[in-house]
Structure 1
Amino acid sequence: MDQTMEGILSRVEKPARYTGGEYNAVVKDRKKVDTRVALCFPDTYEIGMSNLGVRILYGLMNELPGVWCERVFAPWGDMEEEMRREGLPLYGLESGDPVSDFDILGFSLGYEMAYSNVLNLLDLAGLPLRSADRDESHPLVIAGGTCAYNPEPLAPFIDLFSLGEGEEVTVELIQLYRKARREGWSRRDLLLAAAQIPGLYVPSLYEVTYQPDGTVAAVTPEPGAPELVTKRIVQDFDKSYFPVKTIVPSTEIVHDRVMLEVFRGCIRGCRFCQAGYAYRPVRSRDPKRLVEQGIAACKASGYQEMTLSSLSTSDYRPLESLCDGLLEWCEPNKVSLSLPSLRADNFSMGLMQRLQHVRKSGLTFAPEAGTQRLRDAINKNVTEEDLMTSCRTAFLGGWNSVKLYFMLGLPTETDEDVLGIADLAKKVLQLWRETAPDKRRGCRITVSTACFVPKPHTAFQWEPQVTREEYLRRVKLLRENMRDKSIAYHWHDPDTSFLEAVFSRGDRRLADVLEAAWREGAKFDAWSEYFDLERWMRAFEACGLDPAFYANRARSREEVLPWSRVSTGVRTDFLWRERELAYAAVITPDCRKQCTGCGANCLLEKGRACDE
């Protein structure tokens, strides 16, 4: 570490974010490496190091001979200020080398509010923002993650997007890059070849035209570009790569523990949930393999906490036997086990007893809506009786804290549905009063609401978001009807949800807005310390675009959607049918009870079947 960096670190908050050198970090000999990858997470170290996908890709790429993958995170404002003052470019955390010297820069995109940080990091690296301005001397800039399912708002800045699960396609892309460099291909030749790899979307190979009313007229592929780019999935998830030897951070992070991914996909089909559709079909890991991986990961890291990760962990069929296998090792070794993503319709006494072996932390359930009609409309497949049964089980077992998550502004929602949230919270509190064996500590029911954000590739991708004013009216209605000292109510900021909705379903023209806002200081928009909606509104005005056109406008079935050239494998006609069933408040059975014919199983190799 040179004197300049030493001086900078003495003046910034949490310097351990920027030093590297953590236990299990991978440092390679530069002379034995021919391809260097900067794996970039456009948020703080604490957030990025908690991301399981980052850990998987980091470990996977570093097992490739001749490839060195390093981590890059967004520096907080104080660090960025010092870096710009001292002329210090964005660097890889393992080597300290400038990112501009790397071959590939890969962004992990999990949240639209991080888009301004993508531009900020490109600028800190000294790279041209727009892909059209970069040439063979610059790193190839790629991006993947959930947000890649609508690549258009970032399309002018990214060379190519990776859709779906990255374990296999990342290796294929690196192999192609090495071949292109050996043979002296042009950047365009590389991109044309990359477009032939299933799961890779090259935005510069598609021309977007617009109707007079501002809607998309067509997204036209150039010769050689595929008509449709479908996501990649790992076929045999049970044998897929798992990062046993994970990095141990030098400072506290959000999820500072071993994460065991028990399965991918979701059987439920909630109509608002992008992840539920995007990660289909369901594929599970064998419980014996999970036990082995969990124990090995704890031994390799020294972690004293382990969590089971999935979209809905309690839907994992052998969950209780998995917990038994893990606890057999965890208990004598004083390692705690946590189970997030619990559903209100399958929280059993057996599961509760296993949780008691660890600790009685608060339980979290997500009914999402306050009435059965609306829960049926969104296909939540959870009843009030399910929630009460689970809460009764918990209260009898000694729990006295429950968190309930809901959304406001869901399609077809009425004031009656809003008031149903208050009614449900009161019923849960009354249930505690009737069943809790020990009432000395009191009870705490926490109700949280977020503003519904319509997402691409869901049954509600055509729906409008309610306006900010309407959302706050519903918040006020709920707050005024839920006045009890044992019930706490928290609601999410509607301004960030509004901007999230804009970029979630936006088109390529939003790139100009994004750049204009960034040039006016936009960054870390997921953080209240930095987010400024007025700055964004000025950028929209300067670019001649109305954000309400993207967030608050309903789409017709015939409208060409900006993301129409990418696919999750779930058919559009299936999503439209689910939308129609939502308006009729008719549920669709989960995949375990009946295959819904969504199309995602076609992604599996012939002869294989979805785990569920």
Structure 2
Amino acid sequence: MDRTMEMILSRVQKPARYTGGEYNAVVKDRKQVDIRVALCFPDTYEIGMSNLGIRILYGLMNELEGVWCERVFAPWGDMEDEMRREGLPLYGLESGDPIADFDVIGFSLGYEMAYTNVLNMLDLAGLPLRSEDRDEDMPLIIAGGTCAYNPEPLAPFVDIFSLGEGEDVTVELIALSRRARREGWQRCELLAAAARIPGLYVPSLYRVTYREDGVVSSVTPLEGAPELVTKRIVQDLNQSYFPVKTIVPSTEIVHDRVMLEVFRGCIRGCRFCQAGYAYRPVRSKDPALLVEQGIAACKDSGYQEMTLSSLSTSDYRPLERLCDGLLEWCEPNLVSMSLPSLRADNFSMGLMERLQHVRKSGLTFAPEAGTQRLRDAINKNVTEADLIKSCRTAFSGGWNSVKLYFMLGLPTETDEDVLGIAELAKKVLQLWRETAPDKRRGCRITVSTACFVPKPHTAFQWEPQVTREEYLRRVKLLRDNMRDKSIVYHWHDPDTSFLEAVFSRGDRRLADALEAAWRDGAKFDSWSEYFSLDRWMCAFEACGLDPAFYANRAREKDEVLPWSRVSTGVRPEFLWKEREAAYQAVITPDCRRQCTGCGANLLLEKGRVCDA
């Protein structure tokens, strides 16, 4: 470490964020490497290192001969100030080399509120923000993750978007980049070739036009670009890469544990949930393999906690067999196990007993809505009886706290639905009073509400978000009707939800506002220490854009949506049909009971079937 870095680190919070050198970090001989990749996560080290996708891609790329992938995280404000003051460019954690000298810079996009950090990291690297301003010798800028399903707000800044799961397509893109370098291609040749790889969307190869009222008129592919870019999926999770030897952070992170991904996709069809649609079809991993990998990862890392990861862990068919296999090793080695993403309709006593073998973890359920009518409208497929049964099981087994998550502002929601949340919380509290064997510690029911954000590629992608004022009115209505001291109420900030809705369904014109806000100081917008809605409103006004046009406006059925050239594999016709079912409060069976014909199964290779 040079003296400049030593001086800087002595003046910032949590210097371990910026030093690298962790156990299992990969350092390669530069002379043996012909492709260098900067894997960027546009948030803090603690959050980025908790992301399983980052760990998978890092390990996968570093197993390729001649490829060196390094991690890069967004520096906190104090570190950024020091870097700019000392003229230190953004660097890879493993080598300390400036990422502007790398061949590829890839961003993981999991949240729209991180967009300004993407721009800030490009600027800290000393690179022009816009693709058109970068020359032939500069790195290729790619981006993937859930937010890539609407690539348009970031389109002017990113060369290539990777749609879907990155394990296979990343290897193909690296191979293409190697060939381009070997044969001396121009950047335009590389982009044209990349557009021919399934799952890669090259925004510069699409021309967008608008109607007089501001609605998108057309998104036209230029010569050589496909009409539709469909996401990539991993066909067989048993054969997919899993980072058994994973980096052990030198400082505490958000999820500091071994993460085992039990399956991808979701059998449910919650109409608001982008992940539920985007990760289809369901593909499961063999429990014996999971046991082997989980034990090996714990042994290598020394972690004392393991979590099973998926969109709905309790929907994994051999879950109890998997838990038994893991606990046989975990219990004598004092390794605890947690199961997030449990559903109220399949929480069992057997599962509960397994949960508390080593350490009793918290219980969280997400009814999402306060009445059965609204739960049916959003296709949650959970009843009040399911929740009561699960809470009775938990309370009688010794739990004395439950967290309940809901959304406010869902399509068709009324005040009766809002008050239904309060009634449900009171019923859960009364249930504890009736069933808990030990009441000395008291009970804590935590109710949390978030503001509904309409997402692309969901049944509610055409729906408006309620205004900030209306959301806060519903918050007050709920708060005023939930006064028991054993019920704690938290609600999400509506300002960040509003901005999330703007960029969630935005078009390319938002890039100007994004850049204007960043130049005015916007960064870390998911952090209250930095977020300023006033700053953003000034940026929108300066660019002649109305954010309510994107967040609070309903779309017509035949409207050209900005993301219309990318596909999750789920047909738009199916999504519209689901939207209509919502207004009739008609449920659609889950994929395990009946195939809904959404189209995602067509992504599977011929002869394979969905694991639902």
Shorter chain as denominator, the TM-score bin is over 0.9
* Structure 2 counterpart of 1:85, one-letter code: R
Counterpart of 1:53 in structure 2: which amino acid? Answer: G
Contact 2:59–2:246 under 8 Å retained in 1: yes
Determine the C-alpha separation between the residues in 2 that align with 1:280 and 1:555: 25
What residue is the counterpart of 1:396 in the other structure?
396
Distance in structure 2 (CA, Å) of the matches to 1:238 and 1:547: 44
Conservation of the 8 A alpha-carbon contact between 1:258 and 1:306: yes
Runs of 4+ in 1 over 3 A off after TM superposition: none
Question: Shift of the alpha carbon at 1:55?
Answer: 0.1
Task: Give the Cα separation in 2 of the matches to 1:534 and 1:25.
Answer: 41
Aligned to 1:148: 148
Matched, 1:443 2:443: yes
Distance 1:208 1:485 in 2: 54
Q: Give 1:361 shift.
A: 2.6
**1:426-446 deviation per Cα after TM superposition (whole angstroms, max 9, x unaligned):** 000000000111111110000
Question: For 1:183-202, what aligned pairs fall within 5 Å after superposition?
Answer: 183-202=183-202
For residues 55-70 of structure 1, the aligned pairs below 5 Å read 55-70=55-70
| Residue in 2 that maps onto 1:380 | 380
Partner residue, 2:499: 499
Is 1:116–2:116 an aligned residue pair? yes
CA distance in 2, matches of 1:311, 1:263: 8
Residues 291-340 of structure 1: per-residue CA shift (max 9 Å, x gap) = 00000101111111000000000000000000000000001111110100
Separation in structure 2 between the aligned mates of residue 78 and residue 423 of structure 1, nearest angstrom: 46
Does residue 433 of structure 2 align to residue 412 of structure 1?
no
Counterpart residue number, 2:257? 257
Report how far residue 239 of structure 1 moved. Answer: 1.4
Structure 1 residues 537-585: Cα deviation after superposition (integer angstroms, max 9, x where no partner): 0000000000000000000001000000000000000000000000000
User: Which residue pairs with 1:480 in the alignment?
Assistant: 480
Letter in 1 for 2:466: V
CA–CA distance in structure 1, aligned partners of residues 190 and 7 of structure 2: 42
Alpha-carbon separation, structure 1, partners of 2:523 and 2:143 = 18
Alpha-carbon RMSD = 0.4
Letter of the 1:374 counterpart: L
What whole-Å deviation, never above 9, does each CA across 1:443-496 have from its counterpart, x for those lacking one?
000000000000000000000000000000000000000000000000000000
1-structure distance, mates of 2:213, 2:99: 42
CA distance in 1, matches of 2:104, 2:443: 52
Counterpart in 1 of 2:238? 238
Structure 2 counterpart of 1:181, one-letter code: R
SS at match of 2:156: helix
SS of 1:208's partner is strand
Matched residue, 2:546: 546
The one-character-per-residue Cα deviations of 1:55-102 (angstroms, maximum 9, x if unpaired) are 000000000000000000000000000000000000000000000000
Output the amino acid matched with 2:392.
R
Deviation at residue 360 of structure 1 after TM alignment: 2.2
1:225-278: CA deviations, max 9, x gaps? 000000000011121100000000000000000000000000001000000000
Would you say the 8 A contact 2:334–2:358 is kept in 1?
Answer: no
User: What amino acid is aligned across from residue 129 of structure 2 in structure 1?
Assistant: L
- Structure 1 unaligned spans of 5+: none
Measured in 1, the distance between the counterparts of 2:379 and 2:302 equals 41
Letter in 2 for 1:39: L
Task: Supply the AA of the counterpart residue of 1:142.
Answer: I
Alpha-carbon distance between aligned partners in 1 of 2:116 and 2:390, rounded to the nearest angstrom: 42
Q: What's 2:87 paired with? A: 87
Which amino acid counterpart does residue 443 of structure 1 have in structure 2?
C
Aligned residue number for residue 211 of structure 1: 211
CA drift at 1:136 = 1.4
| Letter matched to residue 169 of structure 1 | V
Secondary structure in structure 1 of the residue aligned to 2:385: helix
Contact 2:71–2:94 (Cα < 8 Å) also in 1: yes
Match of 1:42 in 2: 42
Q: What is the Cα deviation at residue 356 of structure 1?
A: 1.7
The match for 1:296 is 296
Q: Please list the CA deviations of residues 410-437 of structure 1 after superposition, one character each: whole Å capped at 9, or x if unmatched.
A: 0000000000000000000000000111
1:27 paired to 2:27:
yes
Pairing of 1:555-566 with structure 2 (within 5 A): 555-566=555-566
Q: Which residue of 2 aligns with 1:595?
A: 595
C-alpha separation in 1, matches of 2:302 and 2:24: 11
TM-score, reference length from structure 1: 1.00
The C-alpha deviation readout for 1:179-217, integer Å capped at 9, x for no partner, is: 000000000000000000000000000000000000000
The whole-number CA distance in structure 1 between the counterparts of 2:363 and 2:162 is 36
Structure 1 match to 2:522: 522
* CA distance in structure 1 between the partners assigned to 2:362 and 2:180 by the alignment: 53
Q: 1-side partners of 2:361 and 2:423: how far apart? A: 24
Do the aligned partners of 1:362 and 1:400 also contact (CA within 8 Å) in 2? no
Residue identity matched to 1:579: R
Aligned residues: 612
Q: CA deviation at 1:364?
A: 0.3
Q: Could you tell me how far apart the structure 2 residues matched to 1:238 and 1:549 are? A: 45
Greater shift in the superposed pair: 598-607 or 235-244? 235-244
Distance in 2 separating the partners of 1:561 and 1:23: 46
Post-superposition offset of 1:358: 2.4
The answer as to whether partners of 1:377 and 1:585 remain within 8 angstroms in 2 is yes
Aligned partner letter, 2:410 = L
TM-score (norm: length of structure 2): 1.00
1:574 is matched with which residue? 574
Shift of 1:281: 0.1
Identity of aligned residues (%): 88
For 1:399 and 1:130, the matched residues in 2 are separated by 53
1:359 CA drift (Å): 2.0
Paired with 2:360 and 2:481, the residues of 1 have a C-alpha distance of: 30
Instruction: Determine the C-alpha separation between the residues in 1 that align with 2:583 and 2:447.
Output: 26
Residue 362 (structure 1) shift: 2.1
- Residue 454 of structure 2 contacts residue 464 of structure 2 at CA under 8 Å; is this kept in 1? yes
2:355 and 2:361 in contact (8 A); partners too: no
2-structure distance, mates of 1:292, 1:31: 36
Q: CA deviation at 1:135?
A: 1.8
User: Deviation digits for residues 152-202 of structure 1, max 9, x if unmatched?
Assistant: 000000000000000000000000000000000000000000000000000
